Structure 1
C-alpha cells in the first residue's frame, strides 16, 4: 500500500457544480448510519468485558470523539473523503470474549496494546506483511465464528420476548426491502419505541443526571490472558475486516489512501480513547462508500468535505452516548441484543462467504469457525485466539505434502 497520497480523481470535474450542502449532508448521513447501525454492538462488547454503564457510556463517547477528530484531520489534510469509524467487528470480539483475567482494567490494557500494534503496523512494514500472510479464509472464519452467537440473539429474543423483539425484526425486514441503507437505523428506532412503551407501562424511570455525557478514565493493567485472548484478536479483525477493506473501497472510487499516515492517526486515536473505554478506531469500510461515492458530490475533488462533515457529525453524536446507554439499561432484556445481532447480519454473511469461497481452504476455515463459535477459553485465553491457531495448524498439516510436491 502506498504511503503517499495520490491526487484525487478527476471524475465528475466537468459536471455542473452541486451546492456545498450536498457533501455536508452526505457526511451527516454517513455518521448517522454508522453510529445508529452499530452502537448496540459496541455497548454489548464493552459490557461483556466488564464495563459498568458509566464506563460503557464513556467508551462510546471516547470513540465518537476520536473517530470524529481523525476523520476531520485525514480528510482535510489529504483532501479525500476518508472516514474513520469504530471497529464493529472488534466490538463483536469483545462480546464473544467476555470477562478477561484482571477484569475491566485488563480490558483497557488490551485496548492500549491494540493501539500499539496499529502504530507498529505503520512504523514497521514487516508486521503488515505478516498479517497479510494469514489466509483471508481463516481470518474471516474466525470473525464469522465470533459473530454467530451475537447473530442468534434476534432468533432467541423472539422466542423469549416476542412482543418486544418481533416489531424490531419486522421493521428491519421492511427496511431491507424498501430502504436498505436505513434498515438497521430503522430497527433501532423501532427498538427505542419498544423501550418507550416498556418504560411507560412498567413505570421505570431514568435519572436525568446519567444523561450527561462524561469521560470515565480507568488505570489500565496488563494480563497475559487479556493481551493474547483480547488484544491480538481485536487487532487482527480490525485490520482484516476494517482497514484493508476500507482501503479497497476507497480505491474503487479512485482514491489512494495514504496508508502510513492513516494507521498513525487511527493508532494514536485508539491510544487516546483507550483509558476512557474506547476499544479501537479504524478506517471505515462499508460506510466509507456513503461519503466517497458520486452521490456525495458529482465533483470528486470536493467529496473531502463529506469526510470532514462525517467527523464533525460523529463528535456531535457523541453527546448522545450517555442517553443511549440509559436507553439500554431500561430496555427489555432481549431487545438490545436483538438490535446488535441484526446490525451484524451483513458482516456475518460476508465473513461466511469469504471463509468458504476457496474449496482448498474450506476445511481449515470450518475448523476455525467452529472453535471460534464454541466460545471455549483455555488458560484464560479466548476462543478467538484458539480458533486462529487451530485453523492455521490444520491448514499447515493439509498443505505440507502438497507444498513439497
Structure 2
C-alpha cells in the first residue's frame, strides 16, 4: 500500500513539473511571422478571443478588415456602396474621405480622386473584448506605436503593403476598433492636382489603309487643328496626359450587348481599368451592361445622347443633349459624369464654352486605332504599339460593328505592359474628376 502511495506521489510531481514547464515555454516571444500563439489559460472566453485574433490577422494579410470582403488598395468606395447601399456619413479627412456605415459598424477611407479604398475599419462590439495584453500574448509586440488625439494605436506590419492597427483609447486597455490600412494606396497631394502638361502635347497618330486620299487629308487637317486648339485651352480640353509611362484605354459608342461586355471581361481578366464613353440613347436598353461596367471600377462617361455633331448645334441644344445623357447615366449608376467626349471629336469655341458651363471637361485622344475603318486586328494593334508614347489616350469603340476589338484588345494590353506602360483610367491619367 505504501509502495502504491509512493508511486502515485511521484506521478503527481511529474505532472505538476510538466505543467510548470509548459507554462514557462508558452512565455517565449512569438516569431516575427505573426502566427497567433496559443494562450495557456483554460478560460473559454480567452480562447475565443485568441481565435478571433487569428481570424483578424488572416483577413488583414489579404487586405481585408475582419468580417467584410472589401480589399484595401483594390476595392473602390463605389463598389462598397453598390453592395451595402449609400453610406450614412461621408466626411473629408485630409486628402481623403471617410464613409461610415452605421448598421455595418464599419467605415472606409478612400481617395477623392480615384475613389480607391485605402483604409477599412471595423467597430464590431466583439472587438471590445480584446485587450492589449491578449493581443501581445497572441501576436507578439507591435511593430510600432503611435498616438492620435486620445487614442493609442498599435501597428502590425502584416504584408509588404498592409498594416493591421488596433486602436485603444488612452486610460483603457480595451480595443475600440481595428483598421487595415494600405499606405501605398493613398494619393499624395501632387497626385490630386490636375495634370500640368506644360509643353507636352502629342500629335494624333494612327493610320488606315481603307480611307480615300481626300478623307485622309481632311483627317490630318482636323488633327493638327484640334491639337492647336487644345494647346490654347489647357485644363478644359485634353488630347493626352503627362509625360509619364501611363496610358489610358478609352471606348466610344457603347453600350451594347456584345462588344461592350466582351471588352469588360478582357479588362477585368488583365486587371486594368478602362474609360467608357456611352451614348445616352443606348443606356436604357443596356442598363445592366452600364451598371456592370461601373460596378467593376471602370469609368462611365458622356458621349452625347444621339451622337450628333455638336459644332452643328446651338448652345441650348448642346446643354439639352448633355443633360439627357447625364440623366440616363445617373439613373443607372447614381453619378453624373464630369468628363465627356464630343461626337467625332468635333469641338470648337462654342462647343467648349457650353460644355464648360455644365462643369464638364472634354477629353479626346492622341492615338486613333481607326477600328471603325479597318477590320483587321493586326492593323489595330499596330496603330497602338508602333505609336505609343507616355501619356497617350487610345481611342477604340465598343459598338456591335467593332467586334474586331475583342480580338485586338488582349494583344494591345499584353504588348503595352511588356513595354512597361501602366494602363489607367482617365481620372488617374489626367488628374481630373470623373464625376460631378
Say yes or no: TM over 0.5: no
Q: Which has the higher helix share?
A: 1
Who wins on radius of gyration, i.e. which is larger? 2
In the superposition, the TM-score normalised over structure 1's length comes to: 0.20
Greater percentage in strand: 2
